[in-house]
Amino acid sequence: MAFTKIRALMTKLSDNFPFLGTVTGTTIADNSITDAKFASTIAASNFSGALPAIDGSALTGLSATTTSSSDPLITTNGTLGDVFINTTSGETYICTDATTDNNVWTNVGGGSGDIPAYVFQGTQFGYCVSGTTPSASDVVDKYSYSADGDAVDVCDLTVGRASTATAKSFTHGYCAGGGQGGMPYFNQIDKWAFANNNNATDVGDTVYVGMYQGCASSSTHGYMAGGTDGSAPYNGAKNDINKWAFATDGNATDAGDLSQHAKPYTGHSSETHGYVSGSEGSDTDRIDKWPFASDAGGSNIGNITSDRSNSAGCSSTEHGYNVGGYQSINIIDRFAFASDGNATDWADLATGNSYQGGSSSTTQGYCAGGGYPPIHNNIHKFSYSSQANSTDIGDITVPRRYSGGTQI
């Protein structure tokens, strides 16, 4: 360092710390630094090792941390990078996908088990819900997706009924509306837990009584659409869309209207929209869809390959499937979720069928029961990835038709 710069530095030290004495040349005067001068000039606290308080109000870019006695939910609605600590289990999670009402929370602690995004498709079991034997049934059957075989009876609805709208959350199955081969029609919403075999409980009412509705599920709500309440006009057919919340028990609310009054509808679900296809009456090959993000109602976006009703509904992540139909049709139609348009003939049921309860795994569609007549107890499955015909993989506990279906 140049002499002039050293001298300037020493002079600045002298100006700011008088106890250093006069800077002469490149030296500090002898005996100019004493303990007493240090003690009187610099506070003792500065030598204690304690850091001064820091005001963090101006800091940016830090992730929020939430503590709770339970795990985060897909509806916690954090932002990317947020930290969530379960104070009961000690598990720590990071928000790795902040999609509204469909968060992903990744476990980064010593434990295991992420909180994944909601998907409509199941990985473990399909359910065949209620129906007629021919009397109205309250039975809820469950069958495995991992191994072919017969279903088992796991619980009962609050009342026997058929042609209901079924839905699913992460933890529960739902069954709304329905009838007993005609009047009376129902408006109650039943739910049962996937984790045990307890019977369903009545948790609310739909806006209207009815049966033969289409159905769908988002990550936060169950939906039923169309159907009939047996009254005029439109021969009792409805165009209403109802939805009910999964987070809290309660009644359904109106979520708009379909493009026409019709029954019976077949339901399908994508990540963002609900769909219905097929019906009785005029324009019975229509496909309607409505958004989960708003109550804007539905619009006609295409057609299935032929007029039919009373089909089973299945959904992969990319397509909706209309399976079978009235008077034992064996057609399996497929339409895309990514773009509006008509369905194509994808495959066939091994045996023509109608009035079945459909469910959806991540790789295959299932339909259970049905019959025109006789009433069947078969469970059929077909592949989303190949156009092979369906195969019979087991039986439900009691032959029945007009059943609903869902999955976990």
Measure Cα distances from 407 to 117, 242, 265, 327 in Å: 16, 21, 19, 26
Cis peptide before 18 (omega within 30 of 0): no
pLDDT at 1 over 50: no
Residue 285, pLDDT above cutoff 50:
yes
Most confident of 35-44, 232-241, 277-286, 327-336: 327-336
Q: Classify domain 125-407 by CATH number.
A: 2.120.10.80
| Percent of the residues in the chain that have a pLDDT greater than 70, as a whole number | 84
Average pLDDT over residues 288-309: 96
Closest Cα partner for 135 from 71, 70, 180? 180
Question: Residue 16 has what pLDDT?
Answer: 58
The pLDDT score that the predictor gives to residue 226 is 95
- Higher-confidence position of 276 and 112: 276
How far separated are the first and last CA of the chain, in Å rounded?
Answer: 75
For 160-164, 183-187, 377-381, which range has the lowest pLDDT when averaged over its residues? 183-187
With a cut of 80, say whether residue 56 has pLDDT above it: no
Distance CA 163, CA 153 (A): 19
Percent of the chain with pLDDT over 90: 75
For position 39, what pLDDT does the model report? 58
Q: Average pLDDT of 166-185?
A: 91
Which range is least confidently modeled, 116-120, 135-139, 187-191, 395-399?
Answer: 116-120
Q: What is the pLDDT of residue 236?
A: 84
pTM, whole model, 2 decimals?
A: 0.82
State the DSSP H helix or E strand holding residue 220, giving kind and residue range, or none if neither.
Answer: none
Q: Indicate if the pLDDT at residue 223 is higher than 90.
A: yes
- Average pLDDT value for residue range 157-171: 96
Could you tell me the pLDDT band of residue 33, with boundaries at 50, 70 and 90? low
pLDDT value at residue 82: 94
Region 189-205: what's the mean pLDDT?
Answer: 97
Residue 380 pLDDT: 98
User: Which residues, other chains included, contact 78 with Cβ-Cβ below 8 Å and sequence gap of 6+?
Assistant: 64, 66, 72, 84, 95, 98, 103, 105
Phi-psi sector, 393: left (phi>0), alpha (psi -120 to 50), beta: alpha
Average pLDDT, integer, range 276-298: 93
> For the chain, which residues make up each domain, given as ranges?
3-47, 65-107, 125-407
Buried b (16+ CB within 10 A) or exposed e, 27-63: ebeeeeeeeeeeeeeeeeeeeeeeeeeeeeeeeeeee
Query: Quick one: CA torsion of 255, 256, 257, 259, rounded to 10 degrees?
Result: -120
Average pLDDT of the residues in 43-68: 66
Higher-confidence residue of 280 and 42: namely: 280
Tell which residue, 299, 268, 265, 270, has the closest CA to residue 285: 265
Looking at mean pLDDT, say which of 6-15, 36-45, 278-287, 303-312 comes out highest: 303-312
The per-residue pLDDT of the chain, averaged, comes to 89
Per DSSP, 204 falls in state E
**In this predicted model, what pLDDT tens digit does every residue of 225-275 receive, in sequence order?**
999 987 766 678 999 999 999 999 999 999 999 999 999 999 999 999 999
- pLDDT confidence bin for 55, thresholds 50/70/90: low
Convert the pLDDT of each residue in 318-375 to its tens digit: 999 999 999 899 999 999 999 999 999 999 999 999 999 999 999 999 999 999 889 9
Query: Which one of 63-72, 107-116, 179-188, 398-407 scores highest in mean pLDDT?
Result: 398-407
**DSSP strands (E only) in 169-237:** 172-176, 188-193, 201-205, 214-217, 221-225
Which has more pLDDT, 10 or 79? 79
